[in-house]
C-alpha cells in the first residue's frame, strides 16, 4: 500500500499516467545506453562521433531539468514568470509585477528574454533624431496606470522646459523609460524579487503540465510582449541605414503615414540633396493635431448600444458629428475610452468590413501628427524636395514605411499554435491566449481589441496582467 501511495504521488507530481511515465523512462533508458555506446566508440577512435554522445547527454539533461522544475513549481506557491520581449509592453509588465508584489507573500522570480539591445524602449523610442516626436501630448503619456501625468511630472523634475500640451521628442521619452526601468529594478531589489535578463531571441515555447518551457527552463506564467512585426523588415525604415541613400538622386518611400513622415524628416536632417518620393494608392496622409481650447468638450456620439446598428449607420452618425464640429478631434478623443468595448461588441462581419473600407480613414484621423512635424512636411512639399505619387515605385532606393504586419506568422507563433497555447482571432489579425497563465501584451491582441498599441492601453493592460498573476 505504501509503495502504491508513493507511486500515485509521484505520477501526480509529474502529471503523467503510469504508461506515459513508462514511455518516458524507457526513452531515457534507450538514449542513455545509446550515448554510452557512442562514447565507448569515441574512446577507442577519438576521431569519430566527436560530439554525438555529449549532445544526447545534454538533451537528456535539459529534459530532466525541466521535469524537475515542473515538479518543484507544482508543489509550491512560488511565481516563476517569463517575459518574452522587453520593449514598452514588457517593461510595464515587469514594473507592475514588482510594484504590486507583496514582500512577504510567495516568492517571485522573473526572467526576461529580449533579442535586441534596445531594452525597455523598443524600436520607436530608440530613435536618435530629436525631430521624431510623440504624437500624444506630454500630459497623457505617463506609463503609470493610475497616474497619466507621470511623464509630464518626470519632465518637470528633470528640468525639461515643456508644457503639458507639448509633443516631446521620442528620444526623451526613451530616457524616461530607462528611468522607469531603473526604478522598477530598485523596487525588485528592495522586495527581494529575483530577476535576470537573457539577451536571446525565443523561437519556441513548449508546454509541460501547464508550465511553459522556454530555453530549457520551466515557468508557471508567461507574458508574451514581443510586439507586432513590421512589414518588409529588410527594407523597413527602422532597419535600413539611411546614410547609404545620401548619394542617391531619388529615394522612394512606400506609404504616407507617420512612419513616412519620420523617414522624410530623417533624410532632410541628414542633408539629403535629392528628391524624396512618397508613394501611396490613396494619398491619405495623417491629419494635424489641434489642441482644443480650454474647457472645450463634446458629448460622446456613439454608445455601446450603437454597435448593433449597420456599419454604414455607425459611420454616418460619427462622421456627421465630426463634420459639424469646430474641432472633430474631440469626437475621436471621447470615443477612445470605449473603443475596445465597442470593437468587441461588433460582429465579425462588421469588423471585416471596417478593416476593408474604414481602417485607413480611421488611422489618418486617429493617429495625428504634431503641428511642427506637419509644417516641416508641408515645407518639403512646397520646395519640391518631397513629391507625392500614386504610382508603384521600382525596386531601387526603396524604403518601406507601411507599418505593422498584423496577424504575421513566425517560428514562435507557429510553436504557440502547434502546442495549442494560442489561436488566431476571428480576423486573423492577432492571437488569443488559450491558457489562463499565458498572457499576451500589446499589438498582438489587435484583431481582438483593436486599440492596444497606445501607452494608456498598454499601461492599463499591464496592470491587469500583473494583478492576474499575483492573485
Identify the band that residue 69 occupies on the pLDDT scale cut at 50, 70 and 90. low
Would you call 345 exposed, middle or buried from its count of C-beta atoms within 10 A (0-12, 13-18, 19+)? middle
Write down the pLDDT at residue 195. 96
Give me the helix-helix angle, 52-75 and 2-13, nearest 10°: 100
Beta-ladder partners of 72: none
Identify the band that residue 138 occupies on the pLDDT scale cut at 50, 70 and 90. very high
Residue 381, C-alpha cell as written in the block: 512639399
Q: Which of 135, 117, 128, 122 is nearest to 266 (CA)?
A: 128
Identify the band that residue 257 occupies on the pLDDT scale cut at 50, 70 and 90. very high
Identify the band that residue 222 occupies on the pLDDT scale cut at 50, 70 and 90. very high
Would you call 282 exposed, middle or buried from its count of C-beta atoms within 10 A (0-12, 13-18, 19+)? exposed
- pLDDT mean over 254-267: 94
Element (H, E) at 424: strand 422-424
Q: Are 83 and 181 in contact (CB under 8 A)?
A: no
Mean pLDDT of the residues in the chain: 88
Helices (H), 148-257: 150-157, 170-191
Helices (H), 294-395: 311-323, 329-335, 339-345, 348-357, 359-366, 371-382
Q: Is residue 68 predicted with pLDDT exceeding 70?
A: no
Indicate the DSSP class of residue 78.
Answer: -
Q: Is residue 126 predicted with pLDDT exceeding 60?
A: yes
Q: Are 151 and 289 in contact (CB under 8 A)?
A: no
Most confident of the ranges 28-32, 36-40, 110-114, 125-129: 110-114
Identify the band that residue 16 occupies on the pLDDT scale cut at 50, 70 and 90. low
Number of other residues whose CB lies within 10 A of the CB of residue 351: 21
Write down the pLDDT at residue 313. 95
Q: Is residue 53 predicted with pLDDT exceeding 70?
A: no
Cα within 13 Å of Cα(90), Cβ side:
25
The pTM assigned to this predicted structure is 0.87
**Cβ partners under 8 Å of residue 154, min gap 6:** 176, 179
Domains 79-229+406-470 and 233-288+369-400 share a fold: yes
Write down the pLDDT at residue 177. 96
Write down the pLDDT at residue 26. 75
Q: Which of 367, 401, 406, 392 is nearest to 239 (CA)?
A: 401
- pLDDT mean over 203-221: 91
- Structure-model confidence comparison of residues 278 and 67, the more confident one: 278
Q: What is the CATH number assigned to the segment(s) 233-288+369-400? A: 3.50.50.60
Q: Is residue 228 predicted with pLDDT exceeding 80?
A: yes
Identify the band that residue 296 occupies on the pLDDT scale cut at 50, 70 and 90. confident
First-to-final CA distance of the chain: 38
Number of other residues whose CB lies within 10 A of the CB of residue 404: 16
79-229+406-470 carries CATH number 3.40.190.80: no
Identify the band that residue 9 occupies on the pLDDT scale cut at 50, 70 and 90. low
Q: Is 403 helix (H, G, I), strand (E, B) or coil?
A: coil
List the single range of 57-61, 244-248, 257-261, 384-388 with lowest mean pLDDT. Answer: 57-61
Q: Is residue 328 predicted with pLDDT exceeding 70?
A: yes
Number of other residues whose CB lies within 10 A of the CB of residue 316: 12
- Structure-model confidence comparison of residues 208 and 267, the more confident one: 267
Q: Are 137 and 166 in contact (CB under 8 A)?
A: yes
CA dihedral for 128, 132, 137, 142, sign (positive or negative): negative
For the chain, give every domain's residue range: 2-75, 79-229+406-470, 233-288+369-400, 304-366
- Structure-model confidence comparison of residues 251 and 292, the more confident one: 251
- pLDDT mean over 78-103: 94
Cα–Cα dist 441/227, whole Å: 8
Read off the pLDDT of residues 402-458 as tens digits, 9 standing for 90 and up: 888 887 888 999 999 999 999 999 999 999 999 999 999 999 999 999 988 889 899
Q: Is residue 308 predicted with pLDDT exceeding 80?
A: yes
**Cβ partners under 8 Å of residue 212, min gap 6:** 82, 205, 206, 218, 219, 220, 221, 222, 421, 437, 438
Cα–Cα dist 239/390, whole Å: 24
Write down the pLDDT at residue 158. 96
Cα–Cα dist 465/468, whole Å: 5
Amino acid at each position: 500500500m505504501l509503495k502504491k501511495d508513493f507511486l500515485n504521488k509521484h505520477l501526480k507530481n509529474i502529471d503523467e499516467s503510469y504508461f506515459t511515465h513508462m514511455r518516458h523512462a524507457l526513452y531515457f533508458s534507450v538514449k542513455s545506453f545509446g550515448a554510452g555506446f557512442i562514447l565507448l566508440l569515441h574512446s577507442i577512435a577519438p576521431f569519430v562521433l566527436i560530439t554525438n554522445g555529449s549532445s544526447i547527454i545534454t538533451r537528456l539533461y535539459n529534459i530532466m531539468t525541466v521535469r524537475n522544475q515542473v515538479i518543484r513549481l507544482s508543489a509550491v506557491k512560488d511565481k516563476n514568470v517569463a517575459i518574452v520581449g522587453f520593449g514598452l509592453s514588457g517593461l510595464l509588465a515587469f514594473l507592475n509585477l514588482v510594484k504590486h508584489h507583496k514582500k512577504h507573500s510567495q516568492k517571485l522570480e522573473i526572467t526576461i528574454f529580449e533579442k535586441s539591445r534596445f531594452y525597455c524602449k523598443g524600436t520607436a523610442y530608440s530613435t536618435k533624431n530629436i525631430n521624431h516626436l510623440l504624437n500624444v501630448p506630454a500630459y497623457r503619456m505617463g506609463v503609470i496606470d493610475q497616474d497619466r501625468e507621470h511623464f509630464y511630472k518626470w519632465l518637470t523634475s528633470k528640468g525639461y522646459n515643456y508644457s503639458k500640451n507639448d509633443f516631446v521628442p521620442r528620444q526623451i521619452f526613451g530616457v524616461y523609460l530607462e528611468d522607469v526601468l531603473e526604478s522598477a529594478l530598485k523596487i525588485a531589489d528592495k522586495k527581494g524579487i529575483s530577476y535576470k535578463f537573457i539577451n536571446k531571441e525565443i523561437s519556441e515555447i513548449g508546454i509541460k503540465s501547464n508550465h511553459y518551457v522556454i530555453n530549457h527552463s520551466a515557468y508557471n506564467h508567461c507574458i508574451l510582449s514581443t510586439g507586432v512585426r513590421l512589414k518588409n523588415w529588410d527594407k523597413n525604415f527602422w532597419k535600413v541605414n539611411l546614410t547609404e541613400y545620401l548619394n542617391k538622386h531619388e529615394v522612394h518611400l512606400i506609404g504616407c503615414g507617420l512612419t513616412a513622415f519620420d523617414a522624410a524628416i530623417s533624410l532632410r536632417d541628414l542633408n539629403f540633396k535629392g528628391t524624396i518620393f512618397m508613394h501611396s494608392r490613396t494619398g491619405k496622409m495623417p491629419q494635424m493635431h489641434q489642441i482644443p481650447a480650454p474647457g472645450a468638450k463634446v458629448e460622446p456620439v456613439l454608445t455601446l448600444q450603437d454597435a448593433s446598428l449597420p456599419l454604414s449607420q455607425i459611420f454616418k452618425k460619427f462622421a456627421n458629428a465630426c463634420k459639424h464640429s469646430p474641432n472633430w478631434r474631440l469626437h475621436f478623443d471621447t470615443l477612445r475610452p470605449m473603443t475596445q468595448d465597442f470593437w468587441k461588441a461588433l460582429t465579425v462581419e462588421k469588423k471585416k468590413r471596417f478593416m476593408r473600407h474604414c481602417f485607413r480613414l480611421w488611422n489618418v484621423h486617429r493617429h495625428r501628427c504634431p503641428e511642427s512635424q506637419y509644417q516641416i512636411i508641408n515645407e518639403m512639399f512646397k520646395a519640391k524636395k518631397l513629391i507625392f505619387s500614386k504610382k508603384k515605385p521600382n525596386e531601387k532606393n526603396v524604403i518601406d514605411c507601411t507599418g505593422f504586419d498584423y496577424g504575421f506568422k513566425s517560428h514562435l507563433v507557429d510553436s504557440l499554435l502547434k502546442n495549442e497555447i494560442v489561436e488566431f482571432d476571428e480576423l486573423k489579425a492577432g492571437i488569443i491566449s488559450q491558457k489562463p497563465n499565458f498572457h499576451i501584451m500589446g499589438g498582438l491582441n489587435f484583431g481582438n481589441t483593436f486599440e492596444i498599441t497606445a501607452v494608456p492601453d498598454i499601461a492599463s493592460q499591464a496592470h491587469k496582467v500583473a494583478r492576474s498573476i499575483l492573485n
